[in-house]
Structure 1
Amino acid sequence: MKSYFKKNFFLKKKKKINIGDKSMSHRSILYSLINKKIIEIFNLLESNDVIFTINLCKNLSVNIYGPINNYLVINFLKKKNIINKINFIGNSGTTIRLSLSLILNNSFIIGDKSLNKRTMYRVIKPLCLIGYIIQCKKNFFTPIIIFKKNNFGLKYNLINISSQIKSCLILNSINSFIKIYIKEKKNTRDHTERKIINIKNKNNIFIPNDFSSISFIINYLIINKKILILNFNFNKFRIGYFDFLIKCGIKIYFFKKIIINNEHNVKIILLKLKLKNNVIFSNIISRMIDEIPLLLIFLINYKKITKIYGLEELKYKESNRFINMYNNLLLLGIKIIIKKNYLILKGGIFHNNFIFSKNDHRLFMSFYICKKELKISNLENILSSFPNFIFIFNNKKNSFYVYK
């Protein structure tokens, strides 16, 4: 039975926003498998996906205490006995891609109904070239069983633009002391490289705010012409949506720039926006692929004809976002044309309707911040990446909420 949630309007005000970066939360926890020391993690994102990563590490004999109030302690020095080798990772594709090279022999990995329909070919292929013996369902679907782990070294051309596959191979190389050479077609997120350089001399890890989550607040502020001060992680491979807003003419003032744990962190104030662009090319889309649903919601508020290229990667997310966004926008009366890997947005008469978020957290949150009153399916989707979404955006009992 599908659940429905009726949206209201929101604005976060007067209170500090702490939303730990999900990608960095995953990586910080998995480093415990290759670093034999005690690590403290602050501002950890307590989402379902991150919890599954924590449980996976616990299954691999690591002692973990927490998370409590976004704080976690990992003690690798004191190992515990492995109870079982069956690892359930829910709908967290990030967990399985990053950790597959670190999981023990004869381990069984399975996801939920949604994850079991997503192919893991891109991560299984290079591991098989290294010498892993892996069994999985047809079309490289989970469940996955790792029978044996050999390490022969590898020179791998990373054709698919995926930082998760790159991180998986890097973690395997460090853990096994085998040289792996990776050539990227395009530069991808470098959280793993930055963290490895930094963590050797650090026992404390502070995770900055996630721009992917902050972008929902930014989007609402721009559409509703509000002003707010925000701080977040400013990694150049994560801020494609921010660069798009700059090119569109948004006025932003930076009044703090610092480096924390080898990651750039900024504090900004948003001022105003005048939309200029009507064509968005694939070179910027690759750095904002997670924000595409949000981008479409942003564009339909300005009723301009816009072409967006380079959307092929959307088909391999938590759902087929390429098709699902198309279908939902049609339900809202938006004129949209889709081709193989691009779409043309023509605007239209926006009206109320039901939205089917298809077990995809970003679809739910993107449509939630529309100006219209909508009913959106599967509220529980937000637990995978932004568990405080409703608390921040729809709570009349605290200063987060502002009436329309």
Structure 2
Amino acid sequence: MRPRRFLPAGPLKGRIRVPGDKSISHRSIMLGALAVGETRVTGLLEGEDVLATAAAMRAMGASVKRLDKGNSGAEWVINGVGVGALLQPEAPLDMGNSGTSTRLLMGLVASHPITATFTGDGSLSKRPMGRVIDPLTTMGASFEASAGGRLPLILKGADTPVPITYRLPVASAQVKSAILLAGLNTPGITTVIEPVPTRDHSERMLRGFGADITVETDADGARVISIRGEAELRPQTIEVPGDPSSAAFFIVAALVVPGSEVLIENVGLNPTRAGIIEVLRLMGGSIEEVSPREVGGEPVADLLVRHSALRGIAVDPAIVPSMVDEFPALFVAASLAEGVTTTSGLEELRVKESDRISVMATALAAAGARVEEREDGLVITGTGGEPLVGTNGAIATHLDHRIAMSMAIAGLVSRTGVEVDDTRPIATSFPVFESMLAQLATDLAA
């Protein structure tokens, strides 16, 4: 355990560049490992989750190396083995805390004639994998999973995988991506139908690597994504934009800490990911896009964020897929807003690294917020900009990095500070989070 109390801060000032987008980082390593030739990646998020993906691809035959470029950061060089040529790993694949690594790699392995054992830490081992196991079983893979479809599990890939057409029962970019990745080495055309659009990094990046992939809209408005199997992927040069999920914590911090003005550079603004910005603007947040541009097929801009008087709103459940990971940060913003913020349609949050609805309700209430927990979301009555009281004891983060970071931001706008029980999980997605906070708020106490 590494507890820390985050104390009230003065205005946050300056400019920062958040680490690379985690979703894009995962996929760049996976697809680079399946391309024939050398893929080069800059801006990669070097958190524990992405490093787990890198280690897994090495274990299955790819060369994945980090080259230190000094002041210009690091470049990752991946020499792939080609689609269909993954090797059987000699040891279990340790996924750590990464649900993305687990579900997407299950898809990759499912259509290769190899067997892999997936393990994870205590938090990941509580997360159900059934929603991925079901379609991959239909494609010909077989599984020996722990109770409830959980890790550890053994996956035996199909000798002759079968293409499927699969309609997603719930919105999930991870399930969609797992099926599409399995489709890469499956003869014929594999199709995923998603009634509710989810983040589309997989589709964009698969197309960039040369996969034959189409995206259409059917008569009911659902997205129909089809990929032709037995693909030959081409190596790429990739610049990973800043992770909007990581930027969200600093966007919220700058909005709620009086006197703040922060420029966050190079933030990815993929419309399937940028819902948090739209919602915060509806709440009255001042978030200006500076120098909008496109990098590697992804929209990017610098974000100038200024302290704002926020007001509560009813968040449209239709926007949930484009900000599902950012709700813990939004809950903090809602706690400081004027009036009531209502969220619904958040059942997915109950099966994340923790039950984020329940855990955030408990944490914010302990810090002095007025919170009502419902089955599918929270109703939060804000303080109108007045600081939260703060906590007497430590907040239980349940090994969830987003809970830890969200409550750290809550501590900045409290009277007595907010203590989190363990800051170590932050390293899974944002290892420099605490140092960036210190950079913006020189009077932030440790």
TM class, shorter-length:
over 0.9
* Equivalent in the alignment of 1:42: 42
Query: Residues of 1 paired with 2:268 and 2:317: CA distance?
Result: 23
CA 1:81–1:138 in structure 2 vs 1: closer, same or farther (change >3 Å)?
closer
2:374 counterpart of 1:364: no
Provide TM-score, normalisation by structure 1. Answer: 0.92
8 Å Cα contact 1:20-1:208 kept in structure 2 = yes
8 Å Cα contact 1:34-1:174 kept in structure 2 = no
Query: Residues of 1 paired with 2:390 and 2:440: CA distance?
Result: 27
* Residue 14 of structure 1, CA deviation: 4.7
8 Å Cα contact 1:359-1:381 kept in structure 2 = yes
2:369 counterpart of 1:342: no
8 Å Cα contact 2:320-2:346 kept in structure 1 = yes
CA 1:67–1:126 in structure 2 vs 1: closer, same or farther (change >3 Å)?
farther
* Equivalent in the alignment of 2:219: none
| Deviations 1:89-125 (CA, angstroms, capped at 9, x unpaired) | 1111100111112225221111111111111011001
Matches within 5 A, 1:15-26: 16-26=16-26
* Residue 378 of structure 1, CA deviation: 1.0
2:260 counterpart of 1:226: yes
* Residue 13 of structure 1, CA deviation: 5.0
Matches within 5 A, 1:48-59: 48-59=48-59
* Equivalent in the alignment of 1:192: 202
- Unaligned residue ranges in structure 2 (runs of 5+): 211-233
| Deviations 1:22-67 (CA, angstroms, capped at 9, x unpaired) | 0100000010232111000000000000010000001001111126
* Equivalent in the alignment of 2:144: 135
Determine helix, strand or coil for the equivalent of 2:148.
helix
The CA RMSD over aligned residues, in Å, is 2.3
Bigger shift: residues 323-332 or 13-22: 13-22
Bigger shift: residues 65-74 or 214-223: 65-74
* Residue 77 of structure 1, CA deviation: 5.7
* Equivalent in the alignment of 1:292: 327
8 Å Cα contact 1:46-1:70 kept in structure 2 = no
8 Å Cα contact 2:15-2:264 kept in structure 1 = no
Query: Residues of 2 paired with 1:12 and 1:57: CA distance?
Result: 40
CA 1:80–1:332 in structure 2 vs 1: closer, same or farther (change >3 Å)?
closer
Matches within 5 A, 1:104-143: 105-143=114-152
* Equivalent in the alignment of 1:72: 76
Letter in 2 for 1:181: T
The alignment covers a number of residue pairs equal to 399
2:246 counterpart of 1:213: yes
Provide TM-score, normalisation by structure 2. Answer: 0.84
| Deviations 1:334-377 (CA, angstroms, capped at 9, x unpaired) | 33222221322234763333211110000110010121212111
* Residue 257 of structure 1, CA deviation: 1.5
Matches within 5 A, 1:229-248: 229-231=263-265, 232-248=267-283
| The one of 167, 185, 190 aligned to 1:175 | 185
| Deviations 1:256-301 (CA, angstroms, capped at 9, x unpaired) | 1111111111123234534344312211233211111111111111
Query: Residues of 2 paired with 1:184 and 1:33: CA distance?
Result: 27
* Residue 82 of structure 1, CA deviation: 6.2
Query: Residues of 1 paired with 2:303 and 2:389: CA distance?
Result: 32
CA 1:312–1:35 in structure 2 vs 1: closer, same or farther (change >3 Å)?
same
CA 1:306–1:47 in structure 2 vs 1: closer, same or farther (change >3 Å)?
same
* Residue 249 of structure 1, CA deviation: 2.5
Give the share of equivalent positions with the same residue, in percent.
27
- Unaligned residue ranges in structure 1 (runs of 5+): none
* Residue 388 of structure 1, CA deviation: 0.4
8 Å Cα contact 1:359-1:378 kept in structure 2 = yes
Query: Residues of 1 paired with 2:378 and 2:14: CA distance?
Result: 39
